[in-house]
Amino acid sequence: MDKRTLKTGGVFTIDNQFIICKFSSLRTVLSTSSYNGGFLLADAVFNHRPTFAVKNEQDLPGGSIAGYLALTSEKQGLKRSTGLLTTARMHCYSYSNAAYKNIIVETIATAAIDKNAIRAGNSASYYEMQGQYHGVGDTINIFVLTNVSLPQGAMVKALLTITEAKTAALQELCVINSQTHTPATGTSTDGVILAADPEADITCTNTRTQTKLGELIGKTVKQAVKNSLARANGLTPGVQAALVNRAQRLDASLSTDKEGMPERLLLAMCQSVWQEYAWQLLSQNELHLFCTWLEKTPHQPLGKDIAAVFRQRLKSTSR
């Protein structure tokens, strides 16, 4: 077990199944959890990795996700808490902090992303019906802690900033949704817990991206999410820039081992063109013309392979 001091007051511990933040005094917490979700005064928050899998929510100890988290909190001796579930490995967590004058922000993230990467607005993966449980897959869970006092409205605004920062981290790592091959905005099971100090001398009423507090939140969230994904999935700019991974994001077969600049630029261009088509910035006819150009490009056989992929996708695309 690892134990660290929180700059915002308190300590957090990490082991194979838990990250637990115990505060030095009660905190105003906003949580997306099904257990004590919403606003509450809490003395602790936790992130938990179960050691088992179930098919239905009713099969969980406690009979539901909320019930299971309640039992988990009780077993850990936590009196006023809220928590999140994840399958991400706890030792792949990342901690980040930033400060400006007397304002401090700390972020702790566990992140894992693979087949669960999704873009907001894509087709749903399941429909919740009377507690039918969809197993927790790869997840990005984020704790953001600050030493300032925040009104409830400012805390809700902070959730927007946190979500935008998470999405920016995924975009900068070129994480895509496997359905649409466009940038992913998260996973289908992400969670956020935000904690502020109601007794602090400093009160901030705006937490959006144009404010200094919003800047600190955005920076720490991006850094923590990126670092955790690097540890859990090996996702780094260098890895994602590799020719083989660029081709994989396009579903193109790579018939050469050459790691050349022309091929890298061609793949970067193709990914951008497909995204613009998916977002209706390019027409179907324009994409067909681009495929024709690819088939004639001197970067063979890569151009021809990508053109074939795009033409196959066009057959199943309707507008």
Q: In the chain, what percentage of residues exceed pLDDT 90?
A: 73
By residue count, the chain amounts to 319
Query: Per residue in 221-268, pLDDT tens?
Result: 999 999 999 999 999 999 999 988 999 899 887 665 556 778 889 999
- Greater confidence, 316 or 232? 232
Q: State the Cα–Cα distance between residues 227 and 225, nearest whole angstrom.
A: 6
| Per-residue confidence band for 70, with pLDDT thresholds at 50, 70 and 90 | very high
Could you tell me which of 183, 142, 188, 201 has the C-alpha nearest to residue 276?
183
Checking if the pLDDT of 75 tops 70, the result is yes
Checking if the pLDDT of 108 tops 70, the result is yes
Tell me which residue has tokens 């957090």: 12
301 cis-preceded (ω within 30 degrees of 0): yes
**Can you read off the two tokens belonging to residue 270?**
């193709």
Query: Per residue in 178-198, pLDDT tens?
Result: 888 899 999 988 999 999 999
211 by Cβ neighbours in 10 Å (0-12 / 13-18 / 19+) ranks as middle
* Angle in degrees, 0-180, between the axes of helices 261-278 and 302-315, rounded to the nearest 10: 10
CA distances from 223 to 105, 111, 132 (A): 12, 12, 35
Element spanning 105, H or E: strand 103-111
- What's the rounded mean pLDDT across residues 120-144? 70
Checking if the pLDDT of 173 tops 80, the result is yes
Helix (H, G, I), strand (E, B) or coil at 143: strand
